[in-house]
Amino acid sequence: MSKTSKVGIIGAGNVGADVANALVLLGRCVRVVLYDRTLSKAEGQVWDIEDSIPLLKEMEIIPSNQYEDLADSDIIIVTAGVQPKLGQTRLDTLSDNAEIIRSTIKELDRVAPNSIVIIISNPVDVLTRIAQATSTRAENLIFGSGTVLDTARLRYQLGKQLNVAKQDIHAYVIGEHGDSQFVVWSSAFIGGILLTEFPIPQGATLEQIQQEYAQLTRKRGHNIFERKGNTSYGISTVVCQLVDTILRDEKQIFPVSARADSNYGVGSEVVLGLPCIIGSTGIERQLLLSRNSHEQRLLEESANKLNEAYNFLHN
């Protein structure tokens, strides 16, 4: 991490503010700019967060409604947009958020053409595709949070069920950050052991566990939303991890929203959550996860759904 590392955040709502707070608490960079079209909102969030700085590592956090303040950011996190209302899916917010993303990306291309841009706003996969199509920057510099949060949710719950450290659960949720996501069970490992060979708790079957935990993961965001009206703590930690792997060039693997490698068999246009190596140049490489024929069909269904949503907007 450089002495001047700077992270910009667009949108000072629940997610943007929690990302800023988490970056400060975890000391992930030295300067944060929190941008919102409403300056007083950005100021309120920043003033609240900066009260903690005297108790932490030295940091600077700046509220703004001027895109120019984002110049020279190493990374810019885009959280601006409307949230789905209760009963709506993430795709229901597409047309409103597509417009916000297009105008935001044009401004970011003007003031910060070399920054790495991470899209968080939903529906994140389609918005990332729109952002890539709008932006003049290289495609490796612009990606979405994809199914990183869903994968963390799965690892947490499965770790508890199997009584194993969550860090040792190597299983990915891929596809849409939404209802058509799925777990690639055929290449799930616990430690170095294939899940299919791992001792399952008495009274349960592998099939039951797979069904229950895929469903629990898929519904988790909705279940949180139903109870508290938004989700923000999980995603803000996801963002901190992505920021860290970029600034330290750690080359960690995350299933981010990226344009599918043609070897996945879903064309080379659709953007969806797939495992990629993330380092100082953003997406350094996309990995080809092995999958059985059922999982391939699920991937194709997820890709079709996302293509339809993108094409609907462009017809």
Per CB under 6 A, the list member of 41, 155, 291, 305 interacting with ligand NAD is: 41
- CB atoms < 10 A from the CB of 292, how many? 12
Per CB under 6 A, the list member of 8, 9, 14, 20 interacting with ligand NAD is: 14
Determine the Cα–Cα distance for residues 126 and 308; give it in Å rounded to an integer.
Answer: 10
Site membership for ligand NAD, residue 8 (CB under 6 A) = no
Strand order through the sheet with 252-259: 60-64, 31-35, 6-10, 75-78, 116-119, 142-144, 252-259, 271-279, 282-286
Number of residues that bind ligand NAD (CB under 6 A): 29
Per CB under 6 A, the list member of 6, 9, 13, 61 interacting with ligand NAD is: 13
Site membership for ligand NAD, residue 176 (CB under 6 A) = no
The tokens of 276 are what?
A: 């990629």
Determine the Cα–Cα distance for residues 131 and 142; give it in Å rounded to an integer.
Answer: 8
Contact 276, 282 (CB under 8 A): no
Per CB under 6 A, the list member of 2, 4, 27, 38 interacting with ligand NAD is: 38
Q: How far is the CB of 130 from ligand NAD (least distance, A)?
A: 13
The amino acid sitting at 76 is I
Contact 188, 194 (CB under 8 A): yes
Q: How far is the CB of 12 from ligand NAD (least distance, A)?
A: 5
The amino acid sitting at 62 is I
Nearer to ligand NAD, 123 or 279 (CB): 123
Q: What is the DSSP letter of 279?
A: E
The amino acid sitting at 71 is A
Binding mask 191-230 for ligand NAD (x = CB under 6 A): ---------------------------------------x
Site membership for ligand NAD, residue 45 (CB under 6 A) = no
Helix and strand counts by DSSP (H, E) for the chain: 8, 14
Per CB under 6 A, the list member of 235, 246, 270, 298 interacting with ligand NAD is: 235
Write down the catalytic residue from 170, 177, 222, 294.
177
Cα→Cα distances 179→135, 189, 298, 309, Å? 28, 24, 11, 13
Per CB under 6 A, the list member of 231, 245, 302, 307 interacting with ligand NAD is: 231
Site membership for ligand NAD, residue 184 (CB under 6 A) = no
Q: How far is the CB of 104 from ligand NAD (least distance, A)?
A: 6
Is 177 annotated in the active site? Answer: yes
Site membership for ligand NAD, residue 12 (CB under 6 A) = yes
Cα→Cα distances 269→265, 287, 303, Å? 11, 16, 9
Site membership for ligand NAD, residue 81 (CB under 6 A) = yes
Q: How far is the CB of 20 from ligand NAD (least distance, A)?
A: 11
Residues annotated catalytic, as ranges:
177
Residues that bind ligand NAD (CB under 6 A): 10-16, 36-38, 41, 79-81, 83, 97, 100, 104, 120-122, 124, 145, 149, 177, 230-232, 235
